[in-house]
Structure 1
Amino acid sequence: MSKLSLLEKDAWLSPHQGAIEATFHNYKDLLDEFGDSHDGIVNFAGNHLFFGLHPYGDGWVFREWAPNAKKIHLIGDFSNWQPVESYRLQQKDHGIWEIFFPANTLKHMDLYKLYVEWEFGTGHRIPAYAKRVIQDPQTLIFSAQVWQPQTPFNWTDNDFQPAFKHPVIYEAHVGMAEKDEKVGTYKEFTNNILPRINEAGYNVIQLMAVQEHPYYGSFGYHVSNFFAASSRFGTPEDLKELVNRAHELGIAVIMDIVHSHAVKNEEEGLSRFDGTLDQYFYPGDRGFHPAWDSRCFDYGKKEVQAFLLSNCRFWLEEYHFDGYRFDGVTSMLYHHHGLEKAFTNYNDYFDGSQDRNALVYLMLANHLIHKIKPKAISVAEEMSGFPGTGAPPEEGGLGFNFRLSMGVPDFWIKLIKELPDEDWDMGTIFHELTQHRPEERTISYAESHDQALVGDKTIIFRLADKEMYDFMSKDTPSLVIDRAIALHKLIRLVTLTTANGGYLNFMGNEFGHPEWIDFPREGNNWSYKYARRQWNLADDKTLKYEWLKAFDTAMINTVVEEKVLTPLPVYQNLANEGDKILVFNRGDFLMVFNFHPSASFPDYGIPVAPGKYKILLNSDRPEYGGFDRIDQAPLYFSEPVGGNPKNGHQLKLYLPNRTGLILRKIPTPRVH
Structure 2
Amino acid sequence: MPPTLKLINTDPLLENYQLKIEGRKIAAEQKERELLQGSDSLTDFANGYLFFGLHLTDYGWILREWAPHATQIYLVGELNNWQDSDEFAFTRKEHGVWELALAAEVLHHGDLYRLSVYWESGHGHRLPAYVTRVVQDLETLVFSAQVWQPKTNFIWRNTGRISKQKSPLIYEAHVGMATEEEKVGSFNEFRHNVLPRIRKAGYNTIQLMAVQEHPYYGSFGYHVSNYFAVSSRFGTPTDLKALIDEAHGMGMRVIIDLVHSHSVKNENEGLGNFDGSGHQYFHEGARRNHQAWDSLCFDYGKNEVLHFLLSNIKYWMSEFHCDGFRFDGVTSMLYLNHGLNCDFISYDMYFDGKQDEDAIVYLALANKLMKQINPNSISIAEEMSGYPGLAAPIPDGGLGFDYRLAMGIPDYWIKLIKDVKEEDWRVGDIFFALSNKRVEEKTISYAESHDQALVGDKTIIFRLIDKAIYWNMHKGSQCIEVERGIALYKMIRLITIASSGGAYLNFMGNEFGHPEWIDFPRQGNNWSYKYARRQWSLADNKELRFESLNNFDQAMIQLIDNKIELNKSLPESILQDETHKVLAFYRDNLLFVFNFNPTVSCFDYEIPVRPGKYKLILSSDAEVFGGFGRVDASQLYYSKTSFPMAKIQMLSLYVPSRCALVFESIPSKRVI
Q: TM-score, length-normalised on structure 2?
A: 0.98
Question: Which runs of structure 2 are paired with 1:310-329 in the superposition (5 Å)?
Answer: 310-329=311-330
1:429 aligns with 2:411: no
The secondary structure found in structure 2 opposite 1:575 is: strand
Which residue in 2 is equivalent to 1:13? 14
Query: Residues 454-508 of structure 1: CA distance to partner in whole angstroms, max 9, x if unpaired?
Result: 0000000000001111111112110100000000000000000001110000000
Task: Verify the 8 A CA contact 2:569 2:588 in the aligned structure 1.
Answer: yes
Q: Aligned letter for 2:640?
A: E
Cα drift, residue 589 of structure 1: 1.3
Cα drift, residue 24 of structure 1: 0.8
Cα drift, residue 563 of structure 1: 2.5
Question: Which runs of structure 2 are paired with 1:371-520 in the superposition (5 Å)?
Answer: 371-520=372-521
Aligned length: 671
1:535 aligns with 2:536: yes
Q: Aligned letter for 2:490?
A: K
Give, in whole Å, the separation in 2 of the partners of 1:201 and 1:99.
Answer: 50
Which residue in 2 is equivalent to 1:22? 23
Q: What percentage of aligned pairs have identical amino acids? A: 56
Which residue in 2 is equivalent to 1:664? 664
Which residue in 2 is equivalent to 1:50? 51
Task: Verify the 8 A CA contact 2:5 2:396 in the aligned structure 1.
Answer: yes
Cα gap change, 1:216 to 1:502, in 2 (>3 Å) = same
Which residue in 2 is equivalent to 1:86? 87
Give, in whole Å, the separation in 2 of the partners of 1:73 and 1:156.
Answer: 40
Cα drift, residue 231 of structure 1: 0.4
Give, in whole Å, the separation in 2 of the partners of 1:156 and 1:15.
Answer: 53
Q: Aligned letter for 1:142?
A: F
Task: Verify the 8 A CA contact 1:174 1:185 in the aligned structure 2.
Answer: yes
Cα gap change, 1:53 to 1:561, in 2 (>3 Å) = same
Give, in whole Å, the separation in 2 of the partners of 1:632 and 1:643.
Answer: 29
Q: Aligned letter for 2:160?
A: D
Cα drift, residue 287 of structure 1: 1.1
Task: Verify the 8 A CA contact 2:405 2:445 in the aligned structure 1.
Answer: yes
Cα drift, residue 63 of structure 1: 0.2
Which residue in 1 is equivalent to 2:251? 250
Cα drift, residue 158 of structure 1: 2.6
Deviates more, 1:469-478 or 1:659-668: 659-668
Give, in whole Å, the separation in 2 of the partners of 1:446 and 1:112.
Answer: 45
Give, in whole Å, the separation in 1 of the partners of 2:565 and 2:5.
Answer: 32
1:593 aligns with 2:594: yes
Cα drift, residue 28 of structure 1: 0.8
Q: Aligned letter for 2:658?
A: R
Which residue in 1 is equivalent to 2:261? 260
Which residue in 1 is equivalent to 2:356? 355
Give, in whole Å, the separation in 2 of the partners of 1:593 and 1:381.
Answer: 30
Task: Verify the 8 A CA contact 1:243 1:253 in the aligned structure 2.
Answer: yes
Question: Which runs of structure 2 are paired with 1:141-180 in the superposition (5 Å)?
Answer: 141-180=142-181
> Unpaired runs of 5+ in structure 1?
none
Cα drift, residue 644 of structure 1: 6.4
Cα gap change, 1:574 to 1:527, in 2 (>3 Å) = same
Which residue in 2 is equivalent to 1:544? 545
Give, in whole Å, the separation in 1 of the partners of 2:593 and 2:221.
Answer: 40
Give, in whole Å, the separation in 1 of the partners of 2:17 and 2:378.
Answer: 29
Give, in whole Å, the separation in 1 of the partners of 2:381 and 2:328.
Answer: 7
Task: Verify the 8 A CA contact 1:446 1:491 in the aligned structure 2.
Answer: yes
Cα drift, residue 159 of structure 1: 1.8
Cα drift, residue 568 of structure 1: 2.0
Question: Which runs of structure 2 are paired with 1:507-656 in the superposition (5 Å)?
Answer: 507-563=508-564, 565=566, 568-640=569-641, 642=642, 646=646, 648-656=648-656
Cα drift, residue 569 of structure 1: 2.6
Query: Residues 217-240 of structure 1: CA distance to partner in whole angstroms, max 9, x if unpaired?
Result: 000000000000100000111100
Query: Residues 394-421 of structure 1: CA distance to partner in whole angstroms, max 9, x if unpaired?
Result: 1111110000000000000000000121
The secondary structure found in structure 2 opposite 1:615 is: strand
Which residue in 1 is equivalent to 2:344? 343
Cα drift, residue 105 of structure 1: 1.1
1:63 aligns with 2:41: no
The secondary structure found in structure 2 opposite 1:54 is: strand
Cα gap change, 1:115 to 1:36, in 2 (>3 Å) = closer
Give, in whole Å, the separation in 2 of the partners of 1:218 and 1:62.
Answer: 30
Give, in whole Å, the separation in 1 of the partners of 2:521 and 2:472.
Answer: 28
Cα gap change, 1:648 to 1:43, in 2 (>3 Å) = closer
Query: Residues 591-641 of structure 1: CA distance to partner in whole angstroms, max 9, x if unpaired?
Result: 10011101111111001011111112111110101111111112210001x
Give, in whole Å, the separation in 2 of the partners of 1:566 and 1:257.
Answer: 23
Q: Aligned letter for 1:490?
A: M
Give, in whole Å, the separation in 1 of the partners of 2:644 and 2:452.
Answer: 50
Query: Residues 137-182 of structure 1: CA distance to partner in whole angstroms, max 9, x if unpaired?
Result: 1110000100000110010113222341310000000000000100
Give, in whole Å, the separation in 1 of the partners of 2:346 and 2:180.
Answer: 46
1:99 aligns with 2:131: no
Cα drift, residue 647 of structure 1: 8.4
Query: Residues 543-599 of structure 1: CA distance to partner in whole angstroms, max 9, x if unpaired?
Result: 111110000000001110122526523111101111010001123211100111011
Which residue in 2 is equivalent to 1:302? 303
Which residue in 2 is equivalent to 1:208? 209
Task: Verify the 8 A CA contact 1:162 1:322 in the aligned structure 2.
Answer: no
Which residue in 2 is equivalent to 1:219? 220
Deviates more, 1:432-441 or 1:4-13: 4-13
Query: Residues 289-324 of structure 1: CA distance to partner in whole angstroms, max 9, x if unpaired?
Result: 000000000001000000000000000010001000
Give, in whole Å, the separation in 1 of the partners of 2:525 and 2:549.
Answer: 30
Give, in whole Å, the separation in 2 of the partners of 1:322 and 1:33.
Answer: 28
Q: Aligned letter for 1:350?
A: F
Cα gap change, 1:5 to 1:25, in 2 (>3 Å) = same
Task: Verify the 8 A CA contact 1:34 1:40 in the aligned structure 2.
Answer: no
Query: Residues 194-242 of structure 1: CA distance to partner in whole angstroms, max 9, x if unpaired?
Result: 0000000000000000000000000000000000010000011110010
Task: Verify the 8 A CA contact 2:622 2:629 in the aligned structure 1.
Answer: yes
Cα gap change, 1:557 to 1:36, in 2 (>3 Å) = farther
Task: Verify the 8 A CA contact 1:638 1:651 in the aligned structure 2.
Answer: yes
Give, in whole Å, the separation in 2 of the partners of 1:390 and 1:260.
Answer: 18
> Unpaired runs of 5+ in structure 2?
none
Cα drift, residue 651 of structure 1: 0.6
Give, in whole Å, the separation in 2 of the partners of 1:15 and 1:36.
Answer: 35
Give, in whole Å, the separation in 2 of the partners of 1:228 and 1:305.
Answer: 18
Cα gap change, 1:200 to 1:37, in 2 (>3 Å) = farther
Q: Aligned letter for 1:506?
A: F
Which residue in 2 is equivalent to 1:110? 111
Which residue in 2 is equivalent to 1:191? 192
Give, in whole Å, the separation in 1 of the partners of 2:40 and 2:132.
Answer: 25
Task: Verify the 8 A CA contact 2:449 2:506 in the aligned structure 1.
Answer: yes
Q: Aligned letter for 1:404?
A: L
Task: Verify the 8 A CA contact 1:162 1:251 in the aligned structure 2.
Answer: no
Give, in whole Å, the separation in 2 of the partners of 1:423 and 1:37.
Answer: 64
Cα gap change, 1:566 to 1:116, in 2 (>3 Å) = closer
Cα RMSD for the two superposed structures: 1.4
Task: Verify the 8 A CA contact 1:74 1:115 in the aligned structure 2.
Answer: yes
Task: Verify the 8 A CA contact 1:107 1:146 in the aligned structure 2.
Answer: yes
